[in-house]
Amino acid sequence: MPHSVTHLDSPPRKIENGADYIESLRGRGLDVWLFGEKVQEPVDHPLIRPSINAIARTYDLAVENPEMASVVSPFTGERVSRFLHVCTSARDLVSQNKMQRRLGQLTGTCFQRCVGMDAFNALYSVTFDIDQAGDTAYHERLRAFLTHMHAGNFVVGGAMTDVKGDRGQPPHAQADPDMFVHVTRRTPEGVYITGAKAHQTGCVNSHWMLVMPTMRLGPDDADYAIVGAVPVDAPGITYIYGRQSCDTRAAEGSGIDAGNAQYAGQEAMVIFEDVFIPNDLIFMDGETDFAASLVQRFTAYHRRSYVCKSGVGDVLIGAAAQVAEYNGADKASHVKDKLVEMTHLNETIYGTGIAASYQGFATDSGAWICDDMLANVCKHHVTKLPYELGRLSQDLAGGLVATMPSEKDLNHPEIGRLLEKYLKGRADFSTEERVRILRLIENMTLGRNAVGYLTESMHGAGSPQAQRIEIGRAMQLEYKKRLARALAGIDPELRDDEDDLVDEMSGYFERVFRLPAAGN
Ligand code: SF4
Ligand code: FE
């Protein structure tokens, strides 16, 4: 029986574990397209299933390690996924990062749940601020929505990235108005939206989607300032699945050639054609002034969520070390040095990510948000360092990572014995073990999961330039110039008890010298 997920008024059945989650996806009749064909049941599709398994793993981790991957819901009093939690302390923010690293280790891929988590965390404070500024009731609606999400322990996706059309034009000035998702008509019951969201992580595997604007908006963009929750199976939504490098290996029935046969990520284009959002699921409608803070808060949360890649990096470092051992090269000093370099790079990603969370602070709504600068630094590292980790892993793997014969050849009655003999490394390890690890490195650096580990690292949560803009905005050069002038004897010495100086550098003091609240 499919879960009842599409109406807030019917109490849902709660998803308790991975198997439950997989069953909850069956029979929804989604309009999903892949290779020019409509997918009858995504759960049973060999290319899609590994991405579903990755989310199922998030539920099973919550069963195995409730402290790490679940919380007691403030809405229902029951344990629910940590991916559904609104952070109310720095500890909550850090705990998200630790869960993300762990899941990266366990799946070796993108487990798809952070976008929604970061979206409603951002919305929690933004809806509060909108209501404070006017007479709207978005915040209470969002809390009612979250109560329902907790009751069902659902997967919530975040739909932000519009297709954008002409990048030089704002939404309202596009030749085609649908380049950004927008309201096309209104009734007393709600609004109808049209448009498309590109490369939506985990959308087909979610139960609900939070639709949000993708960038700051001007007064003429009011119809584009729409935030609402939509069930994934709402009428009018089409999903066109993004294919991934080497994805058809999953349909070959080959466990070895897939590299990571069990887990993969998922991105699809989501097209909305006159999709209805009822009033009680609308969390912003026309408040263009607040689009910028929504985007900025979302990206702050999401850019430090990319510590997920340090968990995936742990797997790649392990694979590189393992293949070096199979090759009999693990004692060479340059091999050890490359593994040290990989670890150094990987921990740099993690360090900046959790630092952003440790430096978190409370918003007026009570939700905690991470440090914007450090979150951007984390994500900026992520646009570069996994590529270097990938390069080093291929260096340690040797050329065989890209030239190996297929599993069918390995198992062939005639030529299999030749490969068994000539692909062997150290005598005390089997040829198959060596081939499997090499296929995993191929999967993560050239194949399916390179989508998540490399290209998504580049562009997810904003391409590199987006972080450089934020870093540039917050770098406070005037204050730093003043530090230099003081020590160079140009300006008077700096004193922390001078009122005007404390005012002038208050932003910097507030951010860098903020101490964690007691108990956090
Ligand atoms: Fe989460 Fe990382 Fe996937 Fe983004 S790329 S959804 S942060 S696992
Ligand atoms: Fe992403």
Residue 2 has pLDDT above 50, yes or no: no
Average pLDDT over residues 252-269: 95
Return the pLDDT at 5.
Answer: 46
Residue 514 has pLDDT above 80, yes or no: no
- Dihedral (C-alpha) 366, 102, 267, 279: value to the nearest 10 degrees? -20
Residue 514 region by backbone torsions, left for phi larger than 0, else alpha for psi between -120 and 50, else beta = beta
Instruction: Based on the residue annotation, tell me whether 504 is a catalytic residue of this protein.
Output: no
Strand order in the sheet with 282-285: 156-159, 208-211, 226-231, 282-285
Return the pLDDT at 8.
Answer: 74
Instruction: Based on the residue annotation, tell me whether 308 is a catalytic residue of this protein.
Output: yes
Rg over CA atoms, the chain = 24
Catalytic: which of 58, 107, 109, 114? Answer: 114
SS3 157: strand
Please give the full DSSP string across 260-279, using - where no structure is assigned.
SSS----EEEEEEEEEEEEG
Return the pLDDT at 4.
Answer: 40
Average pLDDT over residues 312-341: 98
pLDDT tens digits along 150-197: 999 999 999 999 999 999 999 999 999 999 999 999 999 999 999 999
Instruction: Based on the residue annotation, tell me whether 114 is a catalytic residue of this protein.
Output: yes
In terms of pLDDT, which residue wins out, 362 or 514? 362
Cα atoms found within 13 Å of the Cα of residue 420, Cβ hemisphere only: 10
Average pLDDT over residues 98-111: 98
Ligand 1 atom closest to Cα of 461? 4
State which of 305, 354, 453 you would mutate to test the pocket of ligand 1, scoring each by most atoms of that ligand within 8 A of its C-beta: 305
How far is the C-alpha of 501 from the C-alpha of 508, rounded, in Å?
11
State which of 113, 114, 381 you would mutate to test the pocket of ligand 1, scoring each by most atoms of that ligand within 8 A of its C-beta: 114
Instruction: Based on the residue annotation, tell me whether 306 is a catalytic residue of this protein.
Output: yes
DSSP 8-state assignment for residue 455: I
Confidence of residue 510 (pLDDT cuts 50, 70, 90): confident
Return the pLDDT at 479.
Answer: 87
User: Is residue 114 lining ligand 1, measured as CB closer than 6 Å?
Assistant: yes
Return the pLDDT at 1.
Answer: 33
* % of the chain at pLDDT higher than 70: 96
Sketch out the chain's domains with CATH numbers: 304-473 (1.20.140.10), 477-513 (no CATH)
Give me the chain's average pLDDT, please.
95
Ligand 1 atom closest to Cα of 202? 6
pLDDT tens digits along 405-442: 999 999 999 999 999 999 999 999 999 999 999 999 99
User: Is residue 118 lining ligand 1, measured as CB closer than 6 Å?
Assistant: no
Q: Cβ atoms within 10 A of the Cβ of 497, count?
A: 6
Residue 9 has pLDDT above 50, yes or no: yes
Residue 327 has pLDDT above 70, yes or no: yes
Residue 3 has pLDDT above 50, yes or no: no
Confidence of residue 117 (pLDDT cuts 50, 70, 90): very high
Catalytic: which of 306, 326, 350, 453? Answer: 306
Query: Ligand 2 centroid to 305 CA: how many Å?
Result: 9
User: Is residue 119 lining ligand 1, measured as CB closer than 6 Å?
Assistant: no
Nearest to residue 51, comparing CAs of 11, 7, 21, 81? 21
Amino acid of residue 87: C
How far is the C-alpha of 372 from the C-alpha of 296, rounded, in Å?
8
**Which residue has a Cα nearest atom 1 of ligand 1?**
114
**Which residue has a Cα nearest atom 3 of ligand 1?**
110
State which of 81, 106, 263, 308 you would mutate to test the pocket of ligand 1, scoring each by most atoms of that ligand within 8 A of its C-beta: 308
Confidence of residue 501 (pLDDT cuts 50, 70, 90): low
Return the pLDDT at 326.
Answer: 98
Q: Are strands 282-285 and 237-241 parallel, antiparallel or unpaired?
A: unpaired
Instruction: Based on the residue annotation, tell me whether 267 is a catalytic residue of this protein.
Output: yes
Average pLDDT over residues 260-285: 98
User: Is residue 453 lining ligand 1, measured as CB closer than 6 Å?
Assistant: no
Kindly state the tokens that stand for 391.
Answer: 């390069």
In this structure, are residues 449 and 358 in contact, taking their beta carbons and an 8 Å threshold? no
pTM of the model: 0.96
Confidence of residue 10 (pLDDT cuts 50, 70, 90): confident
Residue 386 has pLDDT above 80, yes or no: yes
User: Is residue 382 lining ligand 1, measured as CB closer than 6 Å?
Assistant: no
User: Is residue 201 lining ligand 1, measured as CB closer than 6 Å?
Assistant: yes
Ligand 1 atom closest to Cα of 302? 7
Return the pLDDT at 6.
Answer: 53
Nearest to residue 215, comparing CAs of 165, 256, 176? 165
Query: Ligand 1 centroid to 505 CA: how many Å?
Result: 35
SS3 40: coil
Catalytic: which of 85, 148, 207, 302? Answer: 302
Kindly state the tokens that stand for 305.
Answer: 């969520």
Query: Ligand 1 centroid to 241 CA: how many Å?
Result: 18
User: Is residue 308 lining ligand 1, measured as CB closer than 6 Å?
Assistant: yes
Query: Ligand 1 centroid to 304 CA: how many Å?
Result: 10
Residue 506 has pLDDT above 80, yes or no: no
Residue 244 region by backbone torsions, left for phi larger than 0, else alpha for psi between -120 and 50, else beta = beta
SS3 462: coil
Which ligand is located closest to the Cα atom of residue 118?
A: 1
**Which residue has a Cα nearest atom 5 of ligand 1?**
110
Residue 12 has pLDDT above 70, yes or no: yes
Judged by average pLDDT, the poorest of 106-115, 169-178, 325-334, 503-512 is 503-512
User: Is residue 97 lining ligand 1, measured as CB closer than 6 Å?
Assistant: no
pLDDT tens digits along 306-322: 999 999 999 999 999 99
User: Is residue 110 lining ligand 1, measured as CB closer than 6 Å?
Assistant: yes
SS3 505: coil
